[in-house]
Structure 1
């Protein structure tokens, strides 16, 4: 029986990729994707039955999205940092145009225009704006460091304000907050003067207060979180009950009940399904995998001398980690409801493919590049 492997002397594109990519991160992502399929299989049939479609409707669609997502992630991870920069710049312009188009041709769902129909599919452009924006922002901030006269910080802020303005017009306050936190992490790592950081933090605070008073759905969510008796907290309360019901080891595969009553059991609240059917142990394993990926990739990034790789990579790691943190926090009733998916676990085509875009770029940026150092050009 022969074993498929690559020799260290293999100079093919795939051979070089195999010996330079972070294989531990790939293994952890693979485990995460497999767990996501298992949980989709556990949570989605009950949801499908409620809306009178085939029980495995969502499972099949998730597999359909998973195949191109894996191909996209692998293909992008083969790129050099320069190719990642160029790809992200073009993708950002396309995603930004699609994001603006939602205000005109987007379908209105629950009072927001966030989706564009593409044939039989619906695409959420904001999912693709997030990873491409932080890479473009990382490039601008890196150019500012390489060439002190280059207005990289101003251009990065301008791109941020354009994206946020469109998101708030949809409106999508959850994605706005996530994007703001991702950008804030980038600015912190880029070493912007403390005065600017404090000014941005103050602006964010003012924006959050303004959203509370100007956007009724934001105020409603915050009020319900701070005072559960002030409104309907059905989903978050049932999700918390699911963790209590599951205990340490869970009720067993297929034995959960929360998926039969939660409308978003296969998307925003799939972590609650994991807690009820597989218990606290499985939830801690999931959290541990997310933490491992974040810390593993950060450890590689902080060894980088190339500012573009560092700033863009940190932004992508921040998106992955913060999105997981927010989703889990909402499921545990520690944060107000945000409508945020759990990366590679929740059902969702746009989310899956967009995360593959982001992780593909991150794997490409964290590949070993012997002989590359300092603040030279991209390679």
Structure 2
């Protein structure tokens, strides 16, 4: 552990004694799980997709995990004002890049969500997600001073994001963004009838997506009636959980993971279930639950509405993304291509999650006095 005195007034010293070290440790443990699951799930995937070098395939994700850790810690050191500015710039930039995917994006499985850049492919909407949560918190908090103008600004931004995601289409990302925004609206205390009206619009949007988007309709139909279509991945994933049992078959000994096309990404939780068993799966679930509950408890004594809304949005987003991934693998909800934070393979996802986690740590740092907070 770091040997820093409470009297240390350096940036690092102040950070160490104000950051939530329990949450930081839990987040770093997820990064550790990510390394382990990378070694467990990626080799077979690398061979199946014909990666030129299996070791390079693994090292690439090792680099992204290391970069994510650096991003998370670096942002957690930032003062609140700088976090807010970073989120605003990030949200605008990511929204513009997400819009660009509609015309110059890479199409995969009927959706345009990715941009090709020199040396890598990124999914800009992943970065828009945490940045929007902080920007929405700022505008909603400012609504107390500027009234309808602040609410109108956040409403316009929200519908621009929703419209762009619907055109890609990326209904899973849209649902997460909308859920985070509605949670923030609830916390800020906006008229309950307005929130209910937004909920009705959301339900009507889902019904419209069912009738106009074949991909969305097919996934829901397969969930409700497995005999209506291909449920290969979910079936194999459930077999993997059953094969692993309580304690698993052992690291590297799983055989069903070789049959899962997305074993390293969307169904990495099934690989954990087969090789490490139900106990480790429950431990992973417990870590995610601890982070969310710890963060909410951290807000109990907070009076700054921006910090309350920002942290609530980031925690809702983090917990909902983890729930969707694990519930999909367990066939509790329709399958959705959403990564398990810090554990699934994917550069954009892991760095974007680290961005949100760093913002969360920065917002929930203890501040000795209001004057010290204003100074930040």
State TM-score, norm by structure 2.
0.97
Match of 2:39 in 1: 41
Question: CA contact under 8 A between 2:240 and 2:257: conserved in structure 1?
Answer: no
Q: Is the 8 A contact 1:43 1:266 kept in 2?
A: yes
Q: In the alignment, what sits opposite 2:132?
A: 133
CA distance in 1, matches of 2:312, 2:187: 8
Distance in 1 (alpha carbons) for counterparts of 2:72 and 2:276: 29
Task: For residue 69 of structure 1, report the CA deviation from its aligned partner.
Answer: 1.4
Q: In the alignment, which residue of structure 2 is the partner of 1:64?
A: 63
Contact 2:41-2:264 within 8 A present in 1 as well: yes
Q: 2:280 matched to 1:282?
A: yes
In the alignment, the residues of structure 2 paired with residue 72 and residue 45 of structure 1 have an alpha-carbon distance, to the nearest angstrom, of 26
2:65 and 2:342 in contact (8 A); partners too: no
1:20 deviation in Å? 0.3
Q: Output aligned runs, 1:39-188, within 5 Å.
A: 39-53=37-51, 54-145=53-144, 147=145, 149-188=147-186
Matched residues in 2 for 1:101 and 1:125: separation? 10
Whether the aligned pair in 1 keeps the contact of 2:210 and 2:216 (CA below 8 Å) is yes
Structure 1 residues 76 and 4: alpha-carbon distance in aligned structure 2, compared to 1, 3 A threshold: closer
Contact kept in structure 2, 1:81 and 1:378, CA below 8 Å? no
Give RMSD over aligned pairs. 1.3
Distance (Å, rounded) in 1 between the aligned partners of 2:290 and 2:185: 24
Unaligned runs of at least 5 residues, structure 2: none
Matched, 1:265 2:257: no
In the alignment, which residue of structure 2 is the partner of 1:308?
Answer: 306
Given that 1:324 and 1:342 are in contact with CA atoms closer than 8 Å, whether structure 2 keeps it comes out as yes
1:247 aligns with 245
Contact 1:131–1:316 (Cα < 8 Å) also in 2 = yes
Query: Conserved in 2, the CA contact under 8 Å of 1:143 and 1:150?
Result: no
Structure 2 equivalent of residue 344 of structure 1:
342
Aligned pairs (5 A) from 1:228-239: 228-239=226-237
Normalised to the residue count of structure 1, the TM-score between the two structures is: 0.96
Corresponding residue of 1:5:
3
* CA distance in structure 2 between the aligned counterparts of 1:143 and 1:4, rounded to whole angstroms: 38
Deviation at 1:377, TM superposition (A): 5.5
Matches of residues 176-215 of structure 1 in structure 2 within 5 Å?
176-215=174-213
Question: Any unmatched runs of 5+ in structure 1?
Answer: none
**Structure 1 position 332 matched with structure 2 position 330:** yes
User: How far apart in 1 are the matches of 2:315 and 2:375?
Assistant: 20
CA distance in structure 2 between the partners assigned to 1:157 and 1:377 by the alignment: 28
Q: How much does 1:58 deviate?
A: 3.1
- Counterpart Cα distance in 2 of 1:276 and 1:19: 40
The answer on whether the counterparts of 1:258 and 1:265 sit within 8 Å (CA) in structure 2 is no
Asked if structure 2 preserves the Cα contact closer than 8 Å seen for 1:271 and 1:283, the reply is yes
Residue 256 of structure 1 contacts residue 277 of structure 1 at CA under 8 Å; is this kept in 2? yes
- Residue 378 of structure 1 deviates from its aligned partner by 7.8
1:371 — aligned with what?
369
Q: What is the total number of aligned residue pairs between the two structures? A: 374
